[in-house]
Structure 1
Amino acid sequence: MVNVLCAYLRMPYILPSEPPDDDAAEPTRTRYTERVQERQVRLTAQRILATHLRPGDDPNQPIDTFWPDTDLDLTGAVLIDLDLARCQTRTARFIGATFTGEAHQNHATLVSLA
């Protein structure tokens, strides 16, 4: 599952710009709508990863949803408001990744590979 989510986030993506005017051509409005919808799916994929990378409050008894020994490969990914606070991974690759918005990594344990 981790590899599928990471692969999805590594797929090319162009963030939506400002909404088009009401009188904009249909292809322009459609392209904007598709990018907004794609952003929502990407945010959901990021939340799924973060949820499963948080072991909980007791390091000796991780919560059931925690995925231990996880390797993240987000090479070249477009990451939007990424919140990895309190997350733990075995390794994480962010080479060439684009971070937009706010990125949170407070109290995270990420071993980043160059």
Structure 2
Amino acid sequence: MNVIRENDNGTININTDVIATIAGNVALNSYGVVGMSARRITDDVAELLGKENVTKGITVDVVDNEVIVSMHVIVKYGIAINTVADNIISAVNYTIENLTGIKVNWIKFFVEGVRL
């Protein structure tokens, strides 16, 4: 699925996989996150094949040319989950809007587990 942006020079189509990649990179490079949790069978298959997948655990839906990002993460044990969530939500929102110009309508943040 694509998000369509129009400007004076033409039309820009941005695939939701691009948005998921941005969100995944932000999350995986954030303090307190140790990994992403697979929410799709294709994520598990890719992992079995040894492929790195930064979009693992991330889905992007488009509503009225705005995006809703769902993220399923695993956080480090002993870290304040609410602080990690707030920081990642802010960073993902800022980065997507800054890099693509696409409005982020909502970010759903699911903590699927904790690890040492």
TM-score between the two structures when normalised by the length of structure 2: 0.29
The structure with more strand, counted as a fraction of residues = 2
Q: Which one has the largest radius of gyration?
A: 1
- Which one scores higher on RCO, CA 8 angstroms, separation ≥ 6? 2
* TM-score of the two chains, using structure 1 as the length reference: 0.30
